[in-house]
Amino acid sequence: MTERQKQVRETEKAIKYIKERFAANLAKNLNLERISAPLFVTSDSGLNDNLNGVERVVSFDIKNIGGLSAEVVQSLAKWKRWALNEYGFEVGEGLYTDMNAIRRDDYVDITHSIYVDQWDWEKVISKEQRNEEFLKDTVRKIVAAIADTNDSLAEIGQKKIEICREVKFITTQELEDMYPELDSHARENEITKKYKTVFIMQIGDTLKSGKKHDGRAPDYDDWKLNGDIFVWHEKLGMGLELSSMGIRVDKQALLEQLEKARCLDRKHLPFHSMLLEDKLPLTMGGGIGQSRLCMMLLQKQHVGEVQASIWPEEMRKETLEKGIYLL
């Protein structure tokens, strides 16, 4: 066995350990149970995540069902809320699942791939819990699950890294005010470099500058009650986004955001109609990148070291010259 082969197999064992341990920690901290989830949904269901509204979905027709059109999910943000209602989850209970997606328009680099693997989670909340403090408390529980997983790496002979359990909370507007000369990506890096673990809140709406920090679909997160978790990746010298999450839209937030996004026509889709008719529970949820988390905890320098995907040949050559082997 060559040294490279040995390294790959040790990495694979560590990936398996991290995924199993973190899922258990997350489920315990948020009171979640694992369920099965779809790889694709029908195009007319309104259940697929539109992300920023410009990404092309991977779609296909189903020959044996009259040519019905289906789409590979881009995330399960809306499907999970439907599932909580369908499966009878109560307030305080939630679900998590392994989500796999193909995002054909994602820009391939050291942290992005066209293949997305993440833990998607969702839980039922009460009307009184639709507030910023409850959101922050949930973020702290997720960060604790990450840090606890990191602390247990010694069980498999892996060296743990430094992870700050204390979370810095900051809104996108506060971040723009702090670094007006920087773009949103550079702001994320600066604040994460300073505080190590950061939750950047209120993503999707327009800032005072007239720009958006980042895009968010108008029909799942409430733009006033959402955000991204960033952790400082020491080896890469950058803030690595591990999770996008938030309290989901209620009837009022859905209508306001659909109007802002100029897509009020969506309210007639099955999912949106159920929400507007109060047939869906109030929820919060998010996605946590599986490969991203492994990349962070194992201090890998490319996401391709912890997931099998397709990479430009030139990228493979460049990384191999640096001693980085892409799966």
Per-residue pLDDT of the chain (327 residues; tens, 9 = 90+): 787 788 888 899 999 999 999 999 999 999 999 999 999 888 877 777 766 667 788 888 888 887 788 888 887 888 898 899 999 999 999 999 999 988 888 888 988 999 999 999 999 999 999 999 999 999 999 999 999 999 999 898 888 899 999 999 999 999 999 999 999 999 999 999 999 999 999 999 999 999 999 988 898 899 999 999 999 999 999 999 999 999 999 999 999 999 998 989 888 888 889 999 999 999 999 999 999 999 999 999 999 999 999 999 999 999 888 888 888
CB 244 within 8 A of CB 285: no
CATH number among 2.40.50.140, 3.20.20.70, 3.40.190.10, 3.30.930.10, domain 3-321: 3.30.930.10
Look up 228 and say whether it is catalytic: yes
Q: Which of 113, 129, 184, 244 is catalytic?
A: 244
Look up 244 and say whether it is catalytic: yes
Q: Which of 228, 243, 257, 291 is catalytic?
A: 228
Q: Using alpha carbons only, how large is the chain's radius of gyration in Å? A: 20
**52 Cα distance to chain centroid:** 14
Look up 106 and say whether it is catalytic: no
Look up 103 and say whether it is catalytic: yes
Q: Which of 118, 129, 184, 243 is catalytic?
A: 118
Any idea which residue has 């971040």 for tokens?
A: 175
Look up 49 and say whether it is catalytic: yes
Q: Which of 21, 49, 113, 221 is catalytic?
A: 49
Q: Cα separation of 12 and 194, whole Å? A: 32
What letter would DSSP give residue 171?
A: E
What pLDDT does 53 receive? 64
Q: Which of 241, 257, 290, 292 is catalytic?
A: 241
Look up 86 and say whether it is catalytic: no
Q: Which of 21, 81, 103, 187 is catalytic?
A: 103
Q: Show me where the domains of the chain are located.
A: 3-321
